[in-house]
Amino acid sequence: MNDKRILILDYSVDKIEADAIARWLPVDAEVSILFIDTEESFSDNLLEDDFTHVIHSGSSLSITEEAPFTEKAVKFIREARDHGIAQFGICYGHQLVCLAFVGGNSVRSSPKGLEVGWGRVTFTEHARKLFCVDAKETIWQSHFDEVTEMPEGSILLATNSHSEIQAYINREQKIIGTQFHPEFDKESGDKNFLDEREMLERNNFDVDEIVGKSPTIDAGNIFFGYFHDEF
């Protein structure tokens, strides 16, 4: 029997992240989902539920603007770390974790604007050994904001020309953070781009060109598998 108790904190405004993430988790793990949009929605007693792993989702919210739940989220992230709970932050969640551990100087709106599409990232030698990936891979991207400083003791896993910190790991604090979104495969990723066609075209992106590209790795199995197997 799987003794992992995994909590997905879904910060997405349209509540699409939880299902996209949950399908990559072990079928015999106990998975709980909490949608976070207000201060009240962030329970004060989450640590009493003995979760072994927490996943902080992406969101269309900007990390540069304080949300109603930001203070509670920061407090929970720090306390979860202190209780030895493994945490995985994706895009907004990745930025939120760094905000909690490093401070407001660690996140910003990207000076290069929106990064979106099936984007190329360069994996470090450390990441290539951990995940058996090539030096350059293509993964789902959609973000305006970025991380500029990792928690102390972290190791860079991936980078690209848009955002220097595309992914990192911190074994001591049991943290993985990715700017890219491993939860989206070709089918679900393209659907999201097509659903967002109007917004993307306003930002001068060619949606048909975007969906003409594809991921080069099975990112969901690779990153979520590593998270729940190794932490």
Could you list the active site residues?
A: 91, 181, 183
| Tokens read off for 70 | 């930001």
| Tokens read off for 63 | 């990390």
Q: Alpha carbon of 48 to those of 45, 80, 86: distances in Å?
A: 6, 11, 15
What distance in Å separates the CA atoms of residue 51 and residue 36, rounded to the nearest whole number? 17
What distance in Å separates the CA atoms of residue 119 and residue 106, rounded to the nearest whole number? 23
188-216 per-residue burial string, b: 16 or more CB within 10 A, e: under 16: bbbebbeebeeebeeeebebeebbeeebe
Taking the alpha carbons at both ends of the chain, their separation in whole angstroms is: 17
